[in-house]
Structure 1
Amino acid sequence: MSSVTQQEKARLMKLATYVSTTVALTLIVTKAVAWFMSDSVSLLATLIDSCLDAAASIINLLAVRHALAPADKEHRFGHGKAEALAGLGQATFITGSSLFLVLEAISHLWHPQPIAAMPVAIAVMVLSIVATMGLLIFQKHVISKTDSTAIKADHLHYKTDLLVNAGVIVALLLAFYGWEGFDPVFAIAIAAYILYSAWEIAQESLDLLMDRELPVEERDQIKAIVRAHPEARGLHDLRTRRSGTTTFIQLHLELDDHLNLRQAHAIADEVEASIMAEYPDCEVIIHEDPAGLIEEHPEFAA
């Protein structure tokens, strides 16, 4: 992840929420007109998805603004978990709409209906694909700079939209050539895929809310940074988690027994600086332990 200031991260995250909300609202209007003219259930599916996109983007906008607020007396660790709550909100919206879509598609499956205003419907879907691709490119840039959970959840949702929109175009063309039954079939397939994306979003959000450890590769990197210091004799009880754009790292640093408190503190500061050079937006807490001290540690404490 690129090293950027917190101010730049805040600017990019806020801009990403504004852009996604604008795109979603624009597509809602165009898709609503096309669905009204065509009565296509697969087009209705993507219209519902765009409505959820707008709702999720608005939730993200509010959540990101709250998550970027600095720590205060009541929230000493900051407000970063607001992003995870926004992700759970998105997953809930997506799941509910998918179930509604399945019911609507089953109804059309038993009672197929011809598709009207085909050129308008296809033109709207092409517009949706172009707009969504532009948004995804921008979101990917923001994620590379901020690693924001809320923006990643939004990005994942819009990625599914590309497949959804392409599937709708195929369904519309098949219906135009007399295969009306494919319209609701594609709608059901879209609903299933949206449910899968909802599960991915919910899983990442729950990991953040439950303070899941960083990936093994990152933990190993932190251990390597600590052990690279010439005065470090080892470490134990490494604990890590993320909250919003901030990474929290705690560990026990093992040092030579003969060091006085001032010397041990100076070494710990140097180790902390090395970690923060690799993780600019982290908060590090280091407890100094004598290397010769014999004590038991839990198996997971490494």
Structure 2
Amino acid sequence: MDRTRAVRRVGFVVLVANLALVAAKAAAWWLSGSIAVGSEAVNSLADVAYSLVVLGGLYLTTQPPDFEHPHGHERIEPFVSLVVALGVLAAGVGVIWSATTSLLSGDYGQHAGAAAIVVLVGTAVGKYALYRYCLDVADTHHSPAIRATALDNRNDILTASAALVGVLGSAVGYPVLDPAAALLVAVGILYTGYEIVRDNVNYLVGAAPPDDLREDILERALAHPEVHGAHDVIAHYVGPEVDVSLHIEVEGEMTLHEVHDIETAIVEDVRSIPEVDDVFVHVDPRELGEWKEEQEPA
């Protein structure tokens, strides 16, 4: 399946799943009055909101290149991810307020019953399936927005488990565990928001990619039999994709046609790395001595 269809399908699947979870958790909350289950319902409601944003954002990012966006629209994805993070952080703050109010007032809600337990266990199982599905698509198609969605689903596994602790605690006579579990839910929500912000800010500020990617680029350049050195390798994020520039050293007596063929081969090889978008290669005569074998390549 191509990238456009794959990422759009993820947005639709996650939206439908979150709508179903909101309905199930809201029903269990209404029947039980459990703060922990209620916090989970709020969490899923926030998930629905960001799912709508992600679905719309993924539609925009998968539009083909046009005159105003010759490199495509993938650079919108980090902004979509940050919108997801804002929704996640807002949900975390809301749950903290609810749980803190409950603890201060001593109103811990009622025993949630078997229905809430089934809903929370089902949430954990369903969210794990969504997490693996989203993570697989994000890794395959290098989508930060879908990775943000995967992180939120992973976090929901933990928060559902924390809510389940609160429900079971209420059932065995420790109702204070209910708002305490809600606070744990909130901590998990806030941490997920932090993770999403941390991962996507690098895409927006043009940070360098991981060292192993840069090493791969350098190895590919030096692997060409006519290349005697490489230096000034610069790789940085432009949105979720990587732009690369580097200098290579070749024999100074080569013809322009020969040098062009070498440059083209290296550009095509480096561009075949999935994360890489554009590659710019500057060719230097090796006689200039800009690259020294005894030094670490710059």
Assess same fold via TM > 0.5. Answer: yes
Q: How much has 1:245 moved relative to structure 2?
A: 6.1
Change (3 A) 1:35 1:96: same
Q: 1:236 aligns with which of 214, 231, 239?
A: 231
Higher relative contact order (CA closer than 8 Å, sequence separation 6+): 1
Residue identity opposite 2:211 in structure 1: V
1:216 matched to 2:211? The reply is yes
Change (3 A) 1:242 1:15: farther
Q: 1:269 aligns with which of 264, 268, 282?
A: 264
Aligned-pair Cα RMSD in Å: 2.1
Q: 1:102 aligns with which of 84, 91, 96?
A: 96
Distance 1:142 1:102 in 2: 32
Instruction: Identify the residue that residue 38 of structure 2 maps to in structure 1.
Output: 44
Q: 2:171 aligns with which of 157, 171, 176?
A: 176
1:284 matched to 2:276? The reply is no
Distance 2:148 2:176 in 1: 32
Q: Deviations over 1:32-57 (max 9, x none)?
A: 11111111111111111111111112
Residue identity opposite 1:63 in structure 2: G
Q: How much has 1:234 moved relative to structure 2?
A: 1.7
- Paired residues of 1:81 and 1:243 also in contact (CA < 8 A): yes
- Paired residues of 1:72 and 1:78 also in contact (CA < 8 A): yes
The alignment-based identity, stated in percent, is: 27
- Paired residues of 2:229 and 2:250 also in contact (CA < 8 A): yes
Aligned residues: 293
Change (3 A) 1:122 1:182: same
Q: How much has 1:294 moved relative to structure 2?
A: 6.0
Instruction: Identify the residue that residue 15 of structure 1 maps to in structure 2.
Output: 9
Residue identity opposite 1:226 in structure 2: A
- Paired residues of 1:115 and 1:172 also in contact (CA < 8 A): no
Q: How much has 1:182 moved relative to structure 2?
A: 0.9
Q: How much has 1:61 moved relative to structure 2?
A: 1.1
Instruction: Identify the residue that residue 252 of structure 1 maps to in structure 2.
Output: 247
Q: 1:162 aligns with which of 144, 157, 170?
A: 157
- Paired residues of 1:112 and 1:180 also in contact (CA < 8 A): no
Q: Deviations over 1:204-231 (max 9, x none)?
A: 1111111211100110011011001111
- Paired residues of 1:146 and 1:245 also in contact (CA < 8 A): no
Q: Deviations over 1:77-97 (max 9, x none)?
A: 321121100111111111112
Distance 2:231 2:96 in 1: 51
Aligned to 1:64, the other structure's residue is in SS state helix
Q: How much has 1:293 moved relative to structure 2?
A: 3.1
Distance 2:52 2:10 in 1: 11
Instruction: Identify the residue that residue 74 of structure 1 maps to in structure 2.
Output: 68
Q: 1:25 aligns with which of 19, 24, 30?
A: 19
- Paired residues of 2:8 and 2:55 also in contact (CA < 8 A): yes
Q: How much has 1:184 moved relative to structure 2?
A: 0.9
Residue identity opposite 1:14 in structure 2: R
Unmatched runs of 5 consecutive residues or more in structure 1:
1-6
Residue identity opposite 1:133 in structure 2: Y
1:127 matched to 2:122? The reply is yes
Distance 1:295 1:272 in 2: 21
1:90 matched to 2:84? The reply is yes
Instruction: Identify the residue that residue 199 of structure 1 maps to in structure 2.
Output: 194
Q: How much has 1:243 moved relative to structure 2?
A: 4.7
Residue identity opposite 1:15 in structure 2: R
Distance 1:141 1:292 in 2: 47
Q: How much has 1:242 moved relative to structure 2?
A: 4.0
Residue identity opposite 1:123 in structure 2: V
Distance 2:177 2:149 in 1: 29
Q: Deviations over 1:76-122 (max 9, x none)?
A: 33211211001111111111121121111011112233424411211
Aligned to 2:49, the other structure's residue is in SS state helix
